[in-house]
Structure 1
Amino acid sequence: MPTPTISLRPALETDCSSLAALSIEVWLNSYIREGISSFFADYALAEFTADKFRRILSQPSELLLVSQNCIGIDGFIRVRVGQKSPAGSHSETEIATLYVQPRHQGKGIGLCLLRAALDHCQSSHWAPPWLAVNSENTKAITFYQRHGFTPVGQTHFKIQDTNYLNEVLQYDP
Structure 2
Amino acid sequence: MIRQAEVRDASSLAAVSIEVWVNTYLRDGVSPVFADYVLAEFTAQKFRNAIGDPDLSIWVSENRTGIDGFVTVCSTAAPALADCSPLEITTLYVQPRHQSGGRGSALLRRALDHCRRTGGENAWLTVEAQNLRAIDFYLRHGFTRIGSTDFVIADQSYENYVMQVDLQNPLS
TM-score scaled by length of structure 2: 0.94
AA in 2 matched with 1:83: A
Deviation at 1:124, TM superposition (A): 2.3
Structure 2 distance, partners of 1:31, 1:155, is 17
Q: How many residues align?
A: 167
Q: 1:54 & 1:152 partners in 2: Cα distance?
A: 32
1:52-67 matches, cutoff 5 A: 52-67=46-61
Question: How big is the shift at 1:87?
Answer: 2.1
* Structure 1: runs of 5 or more not aligned: 1-6
Decide which moves more: 63-72 or 31-40.
31-40
Separation in structure 1 between the aligned mates of residue 53 and residue 22 of structure 2, nearest angstrom:
26
Aligned counterpart in structure 2 of residue 109 of structure 1, from 97, 103, 106: 103
What CA deviation, in whole Å up to 9, does each residue of 1:92-146 have, x standing for no partner? 1100000000000000000000001101111122342100000000110110011
Task: Name 2:125's counterpart in structure 1.
Answer: 131
CA distance in 2 between partners of 1:50 and 1:26 (Å): 15
Is residue 32 of structure 2 the alignment partner of residue 32 of structure 1? no
- RMSD over aligned Cα, in angstroms? 1.0
Residues 53 and 60 (structure 1), Cα distance of their counterparts in 2 relative to 1, 3 Å cut? same
Task: Tell me the percent identity.
Answer: 51
Q: Which runs of 4+ in 1 moved over 2 A?
A: none
Structure 2 equivalent of residue 42 of structure 1: 36
Residue 86 in 1 paired to residue 80 in 2?
yes
Query: Residues 164 and 74 from structure 1, CA distance in 2 versus in 1: closer, same or farther, beyond 3 angstroms?
Result: same
Is 1:168 aligned to 2:159, yes or no? no
Counterpart selection for 1:149 from 131, 143, 147 = 143
Structure 1 residues 74-99: Cα deviation after superposition (integer angstroms, max 9, x where no partner): 00000001113222114011000000
Q: TM (normalized to structure 1)?
A: 0.94
* Residue of 49, 64, 68 corresponding to 2:62: 68
1:85/1:45 Cα in 2 relative to 1: closer, same or farther (>3 Å)? same
2:13 pairs with 1:19? yes
Matches of 1:62 and 1:99, distance apart in 2:
16
Structure 2 contact 93–104 (Cα < 8 Å) conserved: yes
Residue aligned with 1:23, SS: helix
Q: Distance in 2 between matches of 1:60 and 1:49?
A: 19
